[in-house]
Amino acid sequence: MGRATAPDPMTSAEALLRTAAAAGIDVCFANPGTTEMPLVAALDAVPDVRAVLGLFEGVCTGAADGYGRMTGRPALTLLHLGPGFANGIANLHNAQRARSPVVNLIGDQTSWHLEHDAPLTSDIESLARPVSGWLRTSSSAQAVPGDFAEAVAAATGPPGSVASLILPADHQQGAVDGPHAVAPATTRPRTSERSVASAAEALGGSVRGPTSGVTLLLGGSALSVRGQRAAARIRRARGARLLAETFPARWERGGDLPTIDRLPYFPQQVQELLATDSHVIVAGAREPIAFFGYEGVPSQLVEAERLLELASPGEDAEAALEELADRLGPDARANADEAPADGASTTGAPEGALDPAKVGAVLAAGLPENAIVMDEAATTGLPFYFAAAPRHTLLSLTGGAIGQGLPCATGAAIACPDRKVIAFQADGSGMYTLQSLWTQARESLDIVTLLCSNRAYRILQVELGRAGVWAPGPVARDLTELDRPELDWVALARGCGVPGERVETAEALARALTRALAEPGPHLIEMML
Amino acid sequence: MGRATAPDPMTSAEALLRTAAAAGIDVCFANPGTTEMPLVAALDAVPDVRAVLGLFEGVCTGAADGYGRMTGRPALTLLHLGPGFANGIANLHNAQRARSPVVNLIGDQTSWHLEHDAPLTSDIESLARPVSGWLRTSSSAQAVPGDFAEAVAAATGPPGSVASLILPADHQQGAVDGPHAVAPATTRPRTSERSVASAAEALGGSVRGPTSGVTLLLGGSALSVRGQRAAARIRRARGARLLAETFPARWERGGDLPTIDRLPYFPQQVQELLATDSHVIVAGAREPIAFFGYEGVPSQLVEAERLLELASPGEDAEAALEELADRLGPDARANADEAPADGASTTGAPEGALDPAKVGAVLAAGLPENAIVMDEAATTGLPFYFAAAPRHTLLSLTGGAIGQGLPCATGAAIACPDRKVIAFQADGSGMYTLQSLWTQARESLDIVTLLCSNRAYRILQVELGRAGVWAPGPVARDLTELDRPELDWVALARGCGVPGERVETAEALARALTRALAEPGPHLIEMML
């Protein structure tokens, strides 16, 4: 570390941004206010850090998450005091659950003004702590470059994390010597020899059958190309079942990659699916935990005695899977491409009124090679996972805080300007951060939003049933229905500068998707379900 | 207190809502999720509490603020765990600064599920503490009705406060004896005899002139009709200058009420205005504090030796002002209506391309009697304060957390269905919570949104100048401009089910305002500035 040499003193804000640029951080998703003006001014002095404006802080934090997932490098956010930061918390919660690298720069009142409790003053640390793996308020301008370098290192990990640096306005503008070096990223630690041996032992006599078997649950870095190819070798050698965690931060899928199902969402489904397994081996994933606690259903869905951890989410799951495969004998030693699964192309193009199955089939068939799909389609999204599709990267809602899809797609498109991005988006959650569309138009991003208009919080209707409210009263039903009035997503998109169209059939969707993908810039297709 | 008798056991959720109904709480602004299903189901059992759905939590919390300002009674919010609550923090910050009564009901994971850190689990207390005057997590179903009764009492005050009650899902559905009684509201304490005597002494020889004088700064309850009439008696008797605090939670204005200017926003303006005063007497307001700390400008804008507190924000400012007026002799003993100030009506209707002055004049002239004006018009809003207008209630942005206007107007309209509501709204801040328009359409609320489209964060452009960045570079300028692409507010409104039109001249604005006010339900007028 130590300070890099710099000829002239500069402001702490400029030194911070030069520290960022030297560490390879090139984007700042910003919604600044008065207390961030020194950092705003410094953005003009450090053109290597590109400022991208969001009209709501949840857009900025969700975009930073998407950027981090696609690049492995943190983006900056620039946010305005406690309330502005608070608007970004929901998507930081998702980012923290995704282990995405994000560095928040949060302006605060001038340090000597804090005690007077001016209207915008609040306890930013209390707000930031629940979503920050690293948190600090800079104590002086001189401390800022070093604090920031620590924040970047903490965010980069591995695993990635949200790091939040609170910067009183006066600490952004004092003279400092220059930027600070950022510690080089560390590598993921190897899993223990014992973990690999235990997993190999569990797989030793594994033959998939009706009463016993082994499931390999993949998450985090295990869902890379390398991790999945190693897992497929294990499947080929021992018949183990492969599953992906329910809401992966990033999952390489499709084309000649192994076909892997996803762990179901509802806990009873998970219990049923895994009931006959002798062992469940987790690699890069957490053990299966119920999303919510339901009476009579355990929180931990696999008993401790059946559970083996090959690699924790922070460990090198790819290497662990390869090591495990190598142990299982010659059958598992070499990669072999799998034939693409049968899918939409062989069953014919769907026709007629849209439903989730047809939407999934049309999307899978129409997906361009190497696309990025951000899935916040909720109840509409499931069939897409069963359709054969070309190679793509899938991002999902990691923390359950809705309103992630449109911002995350925005950040992914900034990160990968040469790839097409599909925002596969439910309507209820889409309304949370629809301001993202404006940033997509402003930055001319190649994003097609497939908006699933079912005019309901459908998942809540399912949960009302599960809660035993089988015949919900008119008030309960009304709180889950979004049809009074109907949202007009084509109008909302146009309001944000994004062209859109509405489709009611599978054929119309296929045509609209082809058209939208052929034109540069963002588009929205409202799918009436 | 003690428990009210109830014949049969009921769920804690139902008991909570019956406690609310008995305390006169009749609205719940809701955006629930899975962990709030027992409360959702109970809303059907307790029809006295009306559920109003918002498509984003910031809509719910801002609406509760507006409802509380207009009724003095708390509304409930119903919010989904930490991330859902976090989406409502910014407007709770404003509500807490407004001293509005609000009771948040925040669902949490089933208590025995918390330790497993499921994806939506977070530290809700840490998030809620900065914006809650009262905060508790219910420890059991049996504790819920009593906890809730305490929350209502804490929220009601006076002064009002945000109270946050965290309810694990299982604690919402246990059997309890019945509802709990809420302690009756207390009255505001009287100010001290000494405070009145000191203020009277300061006013004793007051004659307004170029070098000395006394200013009476009114805020909180002093801006009621009664408070202002008493203040006007003091002005008549002693020539004191009357000023309202910069961002009043609620201010009765117009018609035959005393004409009172507002304390300016920028600290140097405040210093200049008050420079020659021998004393500044605050009543119901805090002492003048700079909104932000600027190099070379003190935080406290009036020196301690010139400052007198007649009544703190928590004390009975109306009674204190009347007592003070009574002391000042016969001239100040009686109320007298003031002649309406000269305004738009005498200077002729404005014509031609819109600017802030014309907007203010048209609004003042076209305002229906007894309207409610929610002012989040930012830099466009100022001229309205100088125009003569019929009697109205003005609500303003108390905490500086933008995105308050549309939700607060929504809540005010729910609170006062017989009054017309004007949402006087800047475009940058309007984008934060535009989902409010959908709730306005759903509930057929008589709200006319006057949307000030200047396609900029104009206040930040002013602040860039103040920060010494007189010629901001292209990046800094770009972060304050919203014209690429231009927002189309008529389309955004239509997308949410609200009819709208765009106007470019003062004459067109006057016609559109008349039309919109004549029709029931919400309307939006996009004013191109």
Q: What is the tens place of the pLDDT at every residue in B291-314? A: 999 989 999 999 999 999 999 999
Contact at CB, B90 and A109, closer than 8 angstroms: no
Helix (H) or strand (E) holding A482: none
pLDDT at position A464: 82
CA distance B529 to A223: 52
Chain A residues within an 8 Å CB radius of B431: 55-56, 435, 438
> CB-side exposure of A193: number of CA atoms within 13 Å?
0
Place of tokens 């017989």: B418
Angstrom CA distances, B188 to B157, B159, B311, B376, stand at 8, 7, 10, 29
Contact at CB, A118 and B293, closer than 8 angstroms: yes
How is residue B47 annotated by DSSP?
Answer: T
Q: What is the tens place of the pLDDT at every residue in B208-221? A: 444 469 999 999 99
Chain B residues within an 8 Å CB radius of A40: 464, 469, 472, 475-476, 479
pLDDT at position B81: 98
Q: What is the tens place of the pLDDT at every residue in B68-77? A: 999 999 999 9
pLDDT at position B212: 61
Nearest CA among A87, A63, A86 for reference residue A76: A63
Q: Which of residues 216-245 of B touch A (CB under 8 A)?
A: none
Chain A residues within an 8 Å CB radius of B403: 56, 87
CB-based burial, B203-229: b 16+ in 10 Å, e otherwise? beebeeeeeebbbbbbbbbbbbebbbb
Q: Which of residues 432-451 of A touch B (CB under 8 A)?
A: 432, 434-435, 438, 441-442
CA dihedral (B186, B187, B188, B194) in degrees, to 10, reads -120
Q: Is B297 on the interface with A (CB under 8 A)?
A: no
Chain A residues within an 8 Å CB radius of B122: 93, 130-131
> CB-side exposure of B398: number of CA atoms within 13 Å?
26
Look at strands B392-396 and B251-253 and give their pairing.
antiparallel
Average pLDDT, chain B: 93
Nearest to B479 among A51, A400, A432 (CB): A51
CA distance A160 to A158: 5
Contact at CB, A293 and B90, closer than 8 angstroms: no
Contact at CB, A53 and B479, closer than 8 angstroms: yes
Kindly report the pTM of this predicted structure.
0.96
Nearest to A438 among B58, B126, B485 (CB): B485
CA dihedral (A227, A229, A235, A238) in degrees, to 10, reads -90
pLDDT at position B464: 82
Angstrom CA distances, A46 to A39, A49, A54, stand at 10, 6, 20
Contact at CB, A495 and B488, closer than 8 angstroms: yes
Place of tokens 């109830």: B6
pLDDT at position B344: 43
Nearest CA among A493, A48, A121 for reference residue B94: A121
Please say if the pLDDT value at position B342 is more than 60. Answer: no
Contact at CB, A82 and B93, closer than 8 angstroms: yes
CA distance A253 to A389: 8
Contact at CB, A130 and B82, closer than 8 angstroms: yes
pLDDT at position A206: 46
Contact at CB, B127 and A123, closer than 8 angstroms: no
Q: Is B175 on the interface with A (CB under 8 A)?
A: no
Chain B residues within an 8 Å CB radius of A400: 83, 119-120
Nearest CA among A344, A339, A211, A359 for reference residue A278: A211
Nearest to B495 among A115, A169, A495 (CB): A495
How would DSSP label each residue in B159-214?
SP-EEEEEEEGGGGSSEES--BPPPPPPPPPPPPHHHHHHHHHHHTT----SS--E
B329 confidence band (pLDDT: 50, 70, 90):
confident
pLDDT at position B460: 87
CA distance B198 to B192: 10
CB B68 within 8 A of CB B39: no
Give the residue ranges of chain A where pLDDT is below 50.
Answer: 1-6, 206, 208-211, 342-345
CA distance A75 to A60: 10
Nearest to A484 among B34, B292, B442 (CB): B442
Chain A residues within an 8 Å CB radius of B38: 467
Mean of the pLDDT values across residues B132-137? 98
Helix (H) or strand (E) holding A376: strand A371-376
CB atoms within 10 A of CB A184: 10
CA distance A125 to A165: 9
Place of tokens 């409930």: B76
Chain B residue at shortest CA distance from A488: B495
Q: Which of residues 107-126 of A touch B (CB under 8 A)?
A: 109-110, 112-113, 115-120, 122-124, 126
Q: Is B429 on the interface with A (CB under 8 A)?
A: no
Q: Which of residues 125-144 of A touch B (CB under 8 A)?
A: 126-127, 129-131
Q: Which of residues 325-384 of B touch A (CB under 8 A)?
A: none
Q: In what order do the strands lie in the sheet with A27-30?
A: A50-53, A27-30, A75-80, A102-108, A162-168, A134-137
Q: Is A24 on the interface with B (CB under 8 A)?
A: no
Chain B residues within an 8 Å CB radius of A487: 438, 495-497
Q: Please calculate the CA angle B312-B314-B319 and round it to the nearest 5 degrees.
A: 75
Contact at CB, A30 and B479, closer than 8 angstroms: yes
Contact at CB, A109 and B475, closer than 8 angstroms: no
Q: What is the tens place of the pLDDT at every residue in B110-133? A: 999 999 999 999 999 999 999 999
Mean of the pLDDT values across residues B335-347? 54
CA distance A488 to A501: 10
Nearest to A247 among B119, B399, B460 (CB): B119
Token readout for B409 is 């107007």
The interaxial angle of helices B12-22 and B37-45, nearest 10 deg, is 50
Chain B residues within an 8 Å CB radius of A123: 129-130
The interaxial angle of helices B458-466 and A37-45, nearest 10 deg, is 80
Please say if the pLDDT value at position B1 is more than 50. Answer: no
Helix (H) or strand (E) holding B382: none
Chain A residues within an 8 Å CB radius of B494: 488, 491
CB atoms within 10 A of CB B432: 29
Find all residues with CB under 8 Å of B46, minimum gap 6, and list them.
Answer: B14, B17, B18, B20, B21
Find all residues with CB under 8 Å of B105, minimum gap 6, and list them.
Answer: B16, B28, B36, B39, B76, B77, B78, B79, B165, B167
Q: What is the tens place of the pLDDT at every residue in B398-455? A: 999 999 999 999 999 999 999 999 999 999 999 999 999 999 999 999 999 999 999 8
SS3 of A296, please?
A: coil
Nearest to A291 among B119, B126, B474 (CB): B119
pLDDT at position A308: 98
CB B206 within 8 A of CB B335: no
Contact at CB, B126 and A127, closer than 8 angstroms: yes
pLDDT at position A335: 66
Chain B residue at shortest CA distance from A37: B464
Residue type, B28: C
Contact at CB, A113 and B496, closer than 8 angstroms: no
